[in-house]
Structure formats: C-alpha cells, structure tokens
Amino acid sequence: MIGRDLLGIEDLERSDIERILETAERMQEIGERQVKKVPTLRGRTIVNLFFEPSTRTRASFEIAGKRLSADVVNFSPGASSLSKAESILDTALTLDAMDPDVVIVRHKVAGVPKRLADSLRAPVVNAGDGAHEHPTQALLDMLTVKQEKGRIDGLTVTIIGDIAHSRVARSNIYGFSKMGAEVRVVGPPPMLPADVESLGVKAYISLREALEGADVVMALRIQLERVQGALFPSIREYAATFGLDRAKLRYAKDDAIVMHPGPVNRGVELSHDLADHRPSVILDQVRNGVALRMAVLYLIAGLAPGEESAP
C-alpha cells in the first residue's frame, strides 16, 4: 500500500511499484490527446519546492500537475534565503500554512524531504535529495524498461558511472532489484561505494564484464565539477574507459537499450551518436516522466496524515 509520502524507493513494496507503473501507463493516453487535461485534481494546489536548481524535473512535475488540473506553484528559494538565515523548515512551514495538497521537494542535502514530511500536513514527494534518492526518476526508468521489454523481472540492468554520489543509481538499484531484475554497477573504483554489494548488486571494474548479457544499460551523468577532484584523472580517460559507444555496446545483448537520466555530456558518458539515436531511449524517459509523475500525484495528492492510497 502506497503511503502518504514518496520519499524513496527503499520504502516501497514491489506491489506499490507495480501499482504506480500501471497507473502511469493509463496516464500516458492523456498525453496523446488534443486536450491534454483531465479534471481530477481541480482545486488542488501543488508546491514545487526546489532548493537546488533543476529545470527538467521541475518542469516535468509542473506539467504533470497541470495535466491533472491542479494549480502548481514554483518556489525556488535557492541559496539566497538560506543565507538570510531562514531555515528550510521555516520556509516549508510557511508554505504549509498556505494549505498545499502536495509539496515536491528537491534539496542538495540527503534527508531533507523526510524531515519536511515529518513536519508538514501536506504529503511530500522527494524530487531528489543529495546522494540519497530520486524516486520518480527510478520509477520513470522502470516504466520505460517495462514498455521497451514488456517486463522487468529477470532482466539484467547495468548502471555505469559515479555510483557513490548518485541518487539516481541508488533509487534504481532499489527499484530494479525489488522488481526482480539483476542489477550490476560499474565505474572507476573511487566511484563505487565499498558496501555497494550489500544493496544486492554486483560491482564490476571492467565495463566489458559488466555489459556481458545486459538487457538495459544505464549511463549516469558525470558531475564535471567533481572531475577536478580526486575521483578520476581526466574526462578523457573516463570517456575512453567507461564512456559508452556502439563498439562497447556490442558486449551487451543485441537488443539492449541505453538509458540516461539527462542531461547527457555528449562524448563523455555516451557517444554523440548514441545520445541521439536508438537504442537509446532518453526522450522516451522524459516523456514517461510526465505520465509517471501524474500517477504519483493522482495517488497521493490531498491524502490526510495517516491516510494511505488504498487499491
């Protein structure tokens, strides 16, 4: 049973994930209509509370809310209000007093959405917190895989990149494992957390071995600003060893698909050609993101404290 808040995939049961994906598949039809709007959340207010800048995820939640007829308010305090010593909680409580029906939170510090969920009357959706979780990204990735492959159970999913600092990787590891897929992670050793195998995944240092027999290959975005640090010597070396191109993709299954949460550093995580053409499904991921977020909003908007979204 889906709880009131969506803070992480770690908290969900497999049946919850299935319910969300099924609901999202129904929502997709609305995006294909001429009038892309249903009246379901008329009179409801959704607050996008983004402490960390984000164009894509915020726009996706905004479009999702609007397609369900909710009023969507974007609130991006950024760093400025923090420097004015206004605490995160104060900001959130101020918004809560305006009676929103859902608060969507992104913050660079892990655990902030959870803290807000404990204090607010409105349900909270985590839109990414530090290196912790990004549940709607993982759900839209699972939706994309389900549609491409017809199933998730039994597939092999290889995630490439900075696993240690990626909330996308973490949420996908939980999600795909719960759905019965075999998850592998691969990257330069400093980017693989020491305890990653305790999450039930297999860690590789060789990209070739990690790709052997993979159905789904997911490249993570490399945070270029981190490259200057000690994690790896140069972008060129990363691209040569872990950057995916058609030659390396041959190690995976013939019908493997390529995913990326965007935005792609072309020529780094993916070759230019792969970034733009099949078998990469990056724009399908974006399109599915709207339907998936509509499903999440439909399932939890307006739930009272303690209430669950019953099937």
Partner 1 sequence: MRIAHEIVERNEKPEDVYIVAIPNGGVPLGRRLVENLEEVAGQRIPMGILDTTLYRDDVHTTGERPLLRVTEMPSSVDGRAVILVEDVVNTGRTIRAAMDALMDFGRPRSVQVVALVDRGHRELPIKIDYVGKNIPTRPEEKVHLRGEDGDLEGLLEVVVEAAGEGA
121 makes contact with partner 1 (CB under 8 A)? no
Rounded Cα–Cα distance for residues 12 and 3 (Å): 9
CA dihedral 266, 267, 273, 276 (to 10 degrees): -10
13 makes contact with partner 1 (CB under 8 A)? no
Q: Find the helix or strand (DSSP H, E) in which 253 lies.
A: none
151 makes contact with partner 1 (CB under 8 A)? no
- Which of the stretches 9-17, 27-35, 240-248, 270-278 binds partner 1 when contact is defined by CB under 8 A? 27-35
Rounded Cα–Cα distance for residues 55 and 125 (Å): 17
Q: What angle do CA 169, 278, 180 make, to 5 degrees?
A: 40
CB of 306 to partner 1, least distance (A): 9
Residues touching partner 1, count (CB under 8 A): 27
Q: Confirm if 191 and 241 have CB atoms less than 8 A apart.
A: no
247 makes contact with partner 1 (CB under 8 A)? no
Rounded Cα–Cα distance for residues 77 and 244 (Å): 37
Residue type at 170 in one-letter notation: R
304 makes contact with partner 1 (CB under 8 A)? yes
298 makes contact with partner 1 (CB under 8 A)? yes
Find the binding residues for partner 1 in span 51-70 (CB under 8 A): 68
Q: Which of 30, 164 has the CB closer to partner 1?
A: 30
Q: Which of 45, 158 has the CB closer to partner 1?
A: 45
196 makes contact with partner 1 (CB under 8 A)? no
Q: Which of 86, 30, 33 is nearest to 297 (CA)?
A: 30
Rounded Cα–Cα distance for residues 150 and 282 (Å): 18
Q: Confirm if 248 and 207 have CB atoms less than 8 A apart.
A: yes
Q: Confirm if 128 and 187 have CB atoms less than 8 A apart.
A: no
308 makes contact with partner 1 (CB under 8 A)? yes
Rounded Cα–Cα distance for residues 31 and 35 (Å): 8
Q: Is 75 exposed, middle or buried (0-12, 13-18, 19+ CB in 10 A)?
A: middle
37 makes contact with partner 1 (CB under 8 A)? yes
99 makes contact with partner 1 (CB under 8 A)? no
- Which of the stretches 74-82, 90-98, 203-211, 296-304 binds partner 1 when contact is defined by CB under 8 A? 296-304
Q: Is 193 helix (H, G, I), strand (E, B) or coil?
A: coil
CB of 305 to partner 1, least distance (A): 11
Report the greatest alpha carbon distance in the chain: 56
The residue from 13, 22, 90, 118 that contacts partner 1 (CB under 8 A) is 22
41 makes contact with partner 1 (CB under 8 A)? yes
Q: Which of 229, 311 has the CB closer to partner 1?
A: 311
302 makes contact with partner 1 (CB under 8 A)? yes
240 makes contact with partner 1 (CB under 8 A)? no
- Using CB under 8 A, list all residues that contact partner 1: 22-23, 26-27, 29-30, 33-35, 37-41, 44, 68, 298-299, 301-304, 307-311
